[in-house]
Every structure is written in structure tokens, then in C-alpha cells.
Amino acid sequence: MSIMSIMSKEKSCPDATLTVEGKSYSLPVVCGTENDRAIDISTLLQQTGYTTLDPGYKNTASCTSDITFLDGKEGILSYRGYAIEELAEKCVFIEVAYLLIHGHLPNPTEYEHFRGLLNQFSLIHEDMIHFFDHFPPNSPPMTMLSVMVNSLSTYYPEMSDDPLKRLDLTAARLISKIRTIAAFSYKKSMGHPLVYPSPDRSYCANFLNMMFDKPVQPYMVHPEAVAALNKLLILHADHEQNCSTSTVRLVGSAGVNLYASISAGINALWGPLHGGANEAVVTMLETIHRDGDNFKKYIDMAKDKSNSFKLSGFGHRVYKTFDPRGKIIKEACDDLLEVLNVSDPLLDIARRLEEIALNDQYFVERNLFPNVDFYSGIIYRALGIPTNMFTVMFALGRLPGWIAQWKEQQEDPDGKIGRPRQVYIGEPSRPFVPMSER
Ligand code: SDX
């Protein structure tokens, strides 16, 4: 969506005035739907000769978007105007995937058509299964996922010439095949026979069956497990311009096809400061448990500036209150563990750690609350998903959001290749020194 079209909306916001070297410049202000405001600096360099400096883009909006809205102060998250709480409670994941990509909740005809495409595209080319045989044993699932997703573009080259051509098919193909790739990578890692998708199972039921069904031990797909997985995937489906989504947009802005752009997003998500945190949380909780539940030691480490240790699953660039997704997941933990008759000591440890941290001045004054990753691993464990696949699960959920954001960037009539500037603080110009004089 171009800035001009935003500014053409009725809401009028007074311009901002910037004074540089005694000269004043008027800069337009862009007003968002929920009164989020930004100073449009797209002509700043041309007008003033100055760029802006904002490491980590803490104060910088990279685009306008009509997909997701976050309010970090109030803990609000909505997709296409629908509150996350309602979507998580009343939808299944593929309904929300459709909403994010197409901009409206599917009617019954659209929903059935989308389901039909997901079934039609649920297999991967049989040759791709041999890719798994060439990864070293114990290869991280996120490595395999990004390689396999990138490789999909070699089987579907039609995207290369026109990135937006039949994007509805490509989106369905990716959403369905990423689930198959994830389940197959797990089966291969276990040395178990692959379980193929079945046409008469829902998206989430198919995934669980493909992960855990065995010829000698049929898997019973619990409706509660399917409901919990739907909820988790919905809660991870989009989150405006986070690190991996910005990566997908930036790579896509160079004209790269969707598969390669998503593969880049998968790699960005893997970082322990980002989507890799759900795996890091469980590792941290297990370490605390092994260390005799010595909470104080780890809280003190997290507060110690000389120590790089951070409390995984705590803090957020935007949320300075409870992450609304974390609240929903924390509640879902109880329900699922009770229904599946599973008890997990890590849930008690997580609760205790949260309680201590939220009563500690260091965390309180920095607005550090549990984020989406703090409790999600407890549910994945209850479902039987191995820790090293937790971030893969995050990627399965986030895929529709990445696709929607990539599409929005591609469709922007004012879209440009992303190319931030810098402030050079290196050596001043100096004469060359030949080797003999060095
Ligand atoms: C996700 O952006 C998104 O929307 C991401 C995400 C999505 O859906 O896409 O929500 C998913 O990535 C959630 C975040 C998962 N990461 C973690 O749980 C890792 C632990 N969290 C931190 O690394 C940190 O909180 C970040 C990376 C999430 C946010 O970092 P910021 O915004 O750059 O904040 P900061 O590092 O500048 O922290 C501000 C202060 C610092 O202390 P001071 O310099 O002010 O003294 O808070 C401290 C930090 O040291 N701090 C922490 C902390 N997080 C911040 N101290 C201890 N433990 C932590 N977890």
C-alpha cells in the first residue's frame, strides 16, 4: 500500500517540522488506522542531505501494511482487523492462513477450495525425499527446512518469470508442502518409515499423524491435540515487521521468488533471539531443573551485565506488557496437559520463574514479560514434538504471514528494493601503501 494512498485517507495529521542547521523542513505525518503515526522521511536526504540513524530499527517503520496490528503498550494483536483472541478461539489455522493472504475470512466455497488445494499439493516430489539421505545424521531440522523450501523453486520454476502469477496456488503449495517436509524430516531423523498425508484429515490432524503414526503402533489423533496445534499455529501466523518477516520482505524486494524469500525468513527465524527462543526456553528450564531449581542463580545471571545470559522467552521489542499470545498459550498449557493426562515439571518451573521475574525490579522496570516463546514449548512437548523441531513449528505457523507480507510488498506500486544507508566512521581518505613499505 503506498504512503500516498494512506495519506489520501480522511484522517488528517499535521505535518512535522524539522529544523536542521537553522533551516526548517516540513515532513508529512502518516496516520495509521489505530492512530499509529509516523513521520514520512522519504524525502529527508534529498531535502536536507541528512539520513537518519536507528540501529535495530527500534524507531523506524519500514512500510505501511494492512495485514497485522500490534499495540505494544496495551498488548493488542489483530490480523486484518480481527482480534487474535477471537481467531485463536473460533478458527482453524487454514482459515486464518486464508485471511492473512487474501484479506478476508473464507466463505464455505473459498474454504473448501483452499482445503482442496492443500490436499492436492500435500506431497513433495519423490526425488526430494532423497535430499534427506544426504544431510549428515542429526542435521538441525531448521537447516533441512530452509534447504528443502528453497529447493521447491527448482520444481516449480514458473514463479521465476512472474512472482505474483497464480500466487494462490503457490501459497497453498508452500503451506501444504512445508508440513510434509517437516514431518518427513522427523521420520527420517528417527529412521522410521515415512507416513504420507491423507486426504481425509485436517491440516493439523494430518501433521500429527504424519509425525507419530507407525505401522506397528497406529497413532490416535486426539481432538484436543489438534485443537491445541491449531491454536499455536494461529498465534504464530503473523506479527507485523519482525526480524524474519522483514527478511522475507527485503529479499523479496530484490525480485527473488517466494520460495527463496521464505527460505531466507526461515533462516532469520532460527536465531535464539527470535523464533529459536522457544527451543532455548526449554533448554534453559531443563538446565535450571538439573541445577536443583536454583532460580535465583539464573535470574541473577540474566541481570548481570557482564554475563551474556538472557532469560529466554522474556522480553520483546514491541510488547512492553504481556504478549497476548503468551497469555493464551499459558492457559492452553493447563487444558492440554490435563486432557492428555501429562504432567511436565518444566511447566511448574516456568510458572515459578515467571512469578519471580515479574516481582523483580530489574524485569519490572524494563517491562520484560513472558513472550510467545515462553510457554509454547510446553505444549509442543505434550504433543510429543522433539525440542529441536520447536522452531520448525514456529515456521509452519508463520508461513502464511510471511506469504501475505511478501505479496503486499510485491504488489506495492511504490515498492522499491530495500537498501538502508549508514554513517561511515572508518578511516579518512589515505594514500595507498605498497607491500614493500608495510
Ligand atoms: C520473538 O519481533 C517480533 O515480533 C518477534 C516475535 C514474532 O512473533 O515474530 O514476537 C517472536 O522473536 C519473540 C522474542 C523471543 N526472544 C527471546 O525470548 C530472547 C530473550 N529476549 C531478549 O533477547 C530481548 O528481549 C529481545 C531480543 C526479544 C528484544 O530485545 P530488544 O528489544 O533489543 O531489547 P534490549 O535487548 O535492548 O533490552 C532492553 C533491556 C536491556 O537491558 P539494559 O541495557 O536496559 O540494562 O532489557 C534487557 C536488556 O539487557 N533484556 C533482558 C532480556 N530482554 C531484554 N535481560 C534479561 N533477559 C532478557 N530476556
* Each residue's pLDDT tens digit, 160-209: 667 787 899 999 999 999 999 999 999 999 999 999 999 999 999 999 99
CA–centroid distance, 369 to ligand 1, in Å, is 10
Contacts of 254 (CB under 8 A, 6+ apart): 417, 418
The closest-lying atom of ligand 1 relative to the alpha carbon of residue 374 is 18
Residue nearest to atom 35 of ligand 1 (CA): 317
CB 264 within 8 A of CB 247: yes
The pLDDT, as a whole number, for residue 162 is: 74
> 72 CB contacts (<8 Å, ≥6 apart)?
316, 318, 319, 320, 321
Provide the pLDDT for residue 11. 63
169 and 36 in a single domain? The answer is: no
Is 56 in the same domain as 194? no
- 92 and 239 in a single domain? The answer is yes
Q: Closest residue (by CA) to atom 30 of ligand 1?
A: 317
Q: Give the Å distance between the CA of 349 and the centre of ligand 1.
A: 21
Q: Whose CA is nearest to atom 14 of ligand 1?
A: 274
Ligand 1 centroid – CA 399 distance (Å): 22
Pocket lining for ligand 1, CB < 6 angstroms: 56, 239, 242, 273-275, 277, 302, 310-318, 366, 368, 371-373
Joined together, the cell numbers standing for residue 241 give: 515487521
For residue 76, being part of any structural domain is answered with no
How many angstroms does the Cα of residue 432 sit away from the middle of ligand 1?
A: 44
Distance in Å, CA 55 to ligand 1 centroid? 14
For residues 7 and 140, state if they share a domain: no
Atom number in ligand 1 closest to CA 275:
12
Count of beta carbons in the 10 Å neighbourhood of residue 311: 22
Q: Are 223 and 149 in a shared domain?
A: yes
Domain that holds residue 18: 3-61
Alpha carbon nearest to ligand 1 atom 52, residue: 310
Predicted local distance difference test score (pLDDT) of residue 10: 41
Q: Kindly state whether residue 188 falls inside one of the protein's structural domains.
A: yes
Nearby residues of 21 by Cβ (< 8 Å), 6 or more positions away: none
* Strand-pair category, 76-79 with 82-83: antiparallel
Whole-model pTM over 0.85: yes
Does residue 438 form part of some domain?
Answer: no
Ligand 1 atom with the shortest distance to the CA of 317: 32
Pocket test for ligand 1, best of 249, 368, 393 (most atoms within 8 A of CB): 368
Residue 355 resides in a domain: yes
DSSP letters, 339-386, are: HTT---HHHHHHHHHHHHHTTSHHHHHTT--B-THHHHHHHHHHHT--
Report the alpha-carbon distance of residue 200 to residue 168 in Å, rounded: 22
52 and 90 belong to one structural domain: no
CATH number at residue 185: 1.10.580.10
Answer yes or no: is 340 within a domain: yes
Residues 408 and 281 in one domain: yes
- Cα(364) to centroid of ligand 1, in Å? 14
- Specify the amino acid at residue 374: F
- Neighbouring-strand partners of residue 37: 31
User: Is the same domain home to 285 and 365?
Assistant: yes
Asked, for residue 379, whether it belongs to a domain, the answer is: yes
Cα separation, 245 vs 57, whole angstroms:
14
Q: What pLDDT, on a 0 to 100 scale, did the predictor assign at position 284?
A: 97
Q: Take residue 371 and report the three cell numbers written for it.
A: 513472550
Alpha helices in 219-270 (DSSP H): 223-235, 243-253, 258-269
Give the count of domains, the chain. 2
For residues 227 and 157, membership in a common domain is answered with yes
Residues 378, 311 share a domain: yes
Pocket test for ligand 1, best of 67, 244, 314 (most atoms within 8 A of CB): 314
On whether both 140 and 92 belong to a single domain, the answer is yes
pLDDT per residue as tens, the chain (438 positions): 444 444 444 467 899 999 999 999 999 999 999 999 999 999 999 999 999 999 999 999 999 999 999 999 999 999 999 999 999 999 999 999 999 999 999 999 999 999 999 999 999 999 999 999 999 999 999 999 999 999 999 998 776 667 787 899 999 999 999 999 999 999 999 999 999 999 999 999 999 999 999 999 999 999 999 999 999 999 999 999 999 999 999 999 999 999 999 999 999 999 999 999 999 999 999 999 999 999 999 999 999 999 999 999 999 999 999 999 999 999 999 889 999 998 899 999 999 999 999 999 999 999 999 999 999 999 999 999 999 999 999 999 999 999 999 999 999 999 999 999 999 999 999 999 999 999
Those residues with Cβ within 8 angstroms of residue 306's Cβ, 6 or more apart along the chain or in another chain: none
Pocket test for ligand 1, best of 67, 235, 244, 371 (most atoms within 8 A of CB): 371
Alpha helices in 121-255 (DSSP H): 126-129, 141-155, 158-161, 167-190, 203-212, 223-235, 243-253
Tell how far CA 411 is from the center of its chain. Answer: 21
Active site residues: 316, 373
Mode of pairing for the β-strands spanning 23-27 and 16-20? antiparallel
Residues 50 and 90 in one domain: no
Specify if 69 maps to a domain: no
The pLDDT score that the predictor gives to residue 301 is: 97
419: in domain: no
How far apart are alpha carbons 105 and 115 in whole angstroms? 14
